[in-house]
Every structure is written in structure tokens, then in C-alpha cells.
A and B are shown apart, each in its own frame.
Chain A
Amino acid sequence: MSTMHLEKSRAMRQDLRTPQSFASNVVSLNLADPTNDHLSALINDIATNRNREAFARLFEHYAPRLKSFTLKQGTSPSRAEELVQETMIMVWRKAASFDASKGTPSNWIYTILRNKRIDMFRKERHPEYDLEEGLEVADTAPGAEDRVEAGQQSEILRAAIDDLPEAQREIILKSFYEDMSHGEIAEDLGLPLGTVKSRIRLGVTRLKQSLGGHQ
């Protein structure tokens, strides 16, 4: 799918969804499928105004998805419910650290869910990387992330995951859904470690290429 096509389809959908009842910068509740811009606006509203209504709307969008994602990881429904609630509380607390220029709301909330899961289920922390200032601009070669807008990224990635060869897709999805390291996946599937490593490398390289990287 070309970039231009994506831009066009995105713009068209935004037209269709332009809500008449658009109150301030808060997304209307009846939007079935809010855009990243809408979701970002909600998070910023929480950060700036501690807006509980915005939070309720964000909750409505994300909580059922977070729960379903967590259930896929084999967590019991009651634990999943608890994890989602704790995750959404972290979203409220950390809203000011969200930066729409660095990624989509879903990417950000995914990392909060991941970290909360580690905190609750393993009693460990997940140390976060923080690229040192100066390094961010030191490399001026355009990276994949510069070529693709955050909003398009998830659509492209979604298609790219579907396009992966089954063997690669299986392992990458298992990594996310079943909370296993690549070593555990090798054991679980009865595959040599080297096979799992090479499938991960091939799969990740393909995904990167789909985002416009050329390595």
C-alpha cells in the first residue's frame, strides 16, 4: 500500500467521522474508531487539565482492548481486569510523559501495560531506555521512523504482520502474546534456538523494510 494511498484513506475517514458534537478538544464518545489525533488529544487533556471525562473516554477505548490483549497472554479474567485497571491508573499518572511526536497513543499505552504486567506478576521493574541528548540529532540519516508518520505506522505494520511468512509470524506473535523469551519459544515449539533466532531476525527485518528502512 503506498503512502499516498494511506494518506488519502485516512483523510477520507476523518471526513466521515468529523463529529458535529465535537466539544472542545475532547473526542465524542460515540466515535467507534477514533484516530490517533483524537486519542492523543485525550491524553494531552488528561495531562494538562486532569480531565476525568477525557480519561473516561480513553478508558472506554483502551480498557477492553487491553483486557483482550492480556487474556491472550493466558492471564485469568480477574487478574486481567486488575491489570487493566492498574494500567489505566498509570496512564492517568504518566499522561504528561506522552509525546505524540515520538509515537502513537497505542504504542505508549502498550509499554505501560507491559511494565505494569512485569511489576504486578513478577515484582520486577522494566528499566526504560532514554536516548541521550545529542545522540538524537547526531545521526542525520533519515531512519524509518522519520519517513513514516506515527499515524500510518500502525496501518503499515498491521499489513506487514499479515504478510510475514507463517513461520516468522508465529514466533513474533508468540513473543508478544504468550510472554515468552525467544529461548522459551524455542523450547515450547521444539525448535533449535538458532532457528528461532533466524526467524525473528528475518521477520523483524521484513517489518522494518515495510516501514521504509533499508537495512
Chain B
Amino acid sequence: MITHHPDTELLLDYATGALTEPMALSVACHASLCKACASELKRLEALGGTLLEQSDKAQMDATSLNAVLNRLDDPEPEPLRPSAQFDAESLRVLPMPLRDYLPASLEALNWRHIGSKVSQYNLDLHVGNYKISLMRFKAGSAQPIHTHKGQEITLVLTGGYTDQGHHFEVGDFDLKDTRHKHQPVVDSGEDCYALVVMDAPVVLAGPFSRFLNPFIKL
């Protein structure tokens, strides 16, 4: 069961379009797995619809309608990237919004292996200082201690982990910032896939973490 949700103000920012694309992606993935937040977003978007409906009428240019009518049959632009054919495992793991950002099924991705416990695939999405990755943590592994200069969002896609006494499982939206120092321990049983969005590098905490920390290569 999902117990960690984005805050209301983050959902509002999603609905108004104020989130950056990486943040919006993490919220969209969560809301694809969480009925409560999907409903909340629907309500907030309905607020936008209501404000639109209530708006005064501004004068459009006289030629506006004709200009649009003349363009209706223009060919549609090509999608940013052709949609990939995903295998059953990928369809199981990946929520719909994430699929647009991946060129192939999970097994065919160009994973970078960091030690034996972590694999990482950087999404082809470049906005500001954000790093957006798909991570695969080995079942039962303990991850190094680290803190953050900025925010880190981890959205669990399979498996789960425990961090500072909190348990996170599929669909959970785990937002950490500078106040948090953490050391996630991955559940045994199933590897943990997660979407990880960071807006600044992590800070290493333990004495040997430079060598252990999988995030150093980010």
C-alpha cells in the first residue's frame, strides 16, 4: 500500500504547470500508481477548468479563426522519440509516463553497473541541473550513507526499501532534502527499480563512501 505521497502544494504545482519536467515526471508516475493522488490532480485541474470557463472573453484577432482552420490539415509533427516496443517485464515495471523516456525494454537499456549492487540508466532528459535516472538496486543490499545538497525524489517501481525507520514500496514517493541523511536498505526478495530525480549532487557522509557511493559517478 502506498503511504508516501507528494505534498498538496506539489500536486497544485503539477496542475498549474509550474513544475519542471523532471519533477512533473515523478509526480505523473506516482499518480499513475496512486488513485488518491490521481483524483486529487483531477480536482485541481478541474479548478483550472473552472477558472478558464469563468474567464472574460478577450478579443481574438479577426483573422484568427481562419488562420487556424487553414492549418487543421497540416501534418502533425513527429513525436520526440519513436515509442519503443516493450517486453512484458518492462510493461510490468514501468508506469505509462516513464515509457516515453525510454528507448527500449529494461534488459536492452545501456545500464551502467556501479559495483555489484546498483545499476543506473540516465534518462535522455536534460533540464537545468537535474539528473534523472532509472536505478536498479539489488534485493537485500544496503546502500551507502549519503546526504543531499538539494532535493532527491525516489519513486519506487518494484520491490522496496527501508530508510531511517520508514518503509517504501511500489508507488511510494520519497522526497528527501538537505535535512535528511540516509542509508536505504533494500528489501530482500525482489530487486528494487526506482525512478530517481535529483536537482543537485549528493554529499558523501561515511569515511570510505567515496569508494562505495554509487552516486559519485553521477
A20 to chain B, nearest CB (A): 25
Q: How many A-B residue pairs have CB under 8 A?
A: 205
B158 to chain A, nearest CB (A): 14
Please, which residues of chain A bring their CB within 8 A of the CB of B47?
A: 157, 161, 172, 176, 207
Please, which residues of chain B bring their CB within 8 A of the CB of A62?
A: 52
Indicate whether B45 reaches chain A with its CB closer than 8 angstroms: yes
- 1/0 per residue, CB under 8 A from B, across A24-63: the answer is 0000000000000000000000000000100110011011
In B40-98, which residues have CB < 8 Å from any A CB? 40-61, 64-65, 67-69, 71-72, 76, 80, 95-97
Indicate whether B163 reaches chain A with its CB closer than 8 angstroms: no
Please, which residues of chain B bring their CB within 8 A of the CB of A92?
A: 72
Indicate whether B113 reaches chain A with its CB closer than 8 angstroms: no
Do residues A68 and B55 form an inter-chain contact, with CB atoms below 8 A? yes
Please, which residues of chain B bring their CB within 8 A of the CB of A184?
A: 18
- 1/0 per residue, CB under 8 A from A, across B16-57: the answer is 111111001101111111111011111111111111111111
Please, which residues of chain B bring their CB within 8 A of the CB of A144?
A: 39, 43
Indicate whether A23 reaches chain B with its CB closer than 8 angstroms: no
Indicate whether B127 reaches chain A with its CB closer than 8 angstroms: yes
Please, which residues of chain A bring their CB within 8 A of the CB of B69?
A: 52, 55-56
Please, which residues of chain A bring their CB within 8 A of the CB of B127?
A: 124
* Total B residues in contact with A, Cβ cutoff 8 Å: 62
Indicate whether B7 reaches chain A with its CB closer than 8 angstroms: yes
Please, which residues of chain B bring their CB within 8 A of the CB of A158?
A: 50, 53-54
In angstroms, Cα B51 to Cα A127, docked, is 22
Do residues A127 and B100 form an inter-chain contact, with CB atoms below 8 A? yes
In angstroms, Cα B48 to Cα A182, docked, is 16
Do residues B45 and A103 form an inter-chain contact, with CB atoms below 8 A? yes
Please, which residues of chain A bring their CB within 8 A of the CB of B55?
A: 65-66, 68-69, 72
Do residues A153 and B51 form an inter-chain contact, with CB atoms below 8 A? no
In angstroms, Cα B216 to Cα A9, docked, is 63
Do residues B53 and A127 form an inter-chain contact, with CB atoms below 8 A? no
| Cβ contact of A145, chosen from B39, B65, B67, cutoff 8 A | B39
Further pairs besides A109-B52, A177-B51, A197-B8: 12, Cβ < 8 Å? A71-B58, A85-B67, A85-B71, A103-B49, A110-B51, A124-B21, A129-B30, A129-B38, A130-B95, A157-B47, A176-B51, A205-B8
Binding site for A on B (CB under 8 A): 7-9, 12-13, 15-21, 24-25, 27-36, 38-61, 64-65, 67-69, 71-72, 76, 80, 95-97, 100, 127
Would you mind naming 21 contact pairs between A and B with Cβ atoms under 8 Å apart? A52-B69, A64-B56, A67-B58, A68-B55, A107-B45, A107-B48, A107-B49, A109-B52, A110-B45, A110-B48, A114-B16, A124-B21, A125-B80, A129-B28, A145-B42, A154-B53, A158-B54, A176-B16, A176-B48, A179-B16, A200-B8
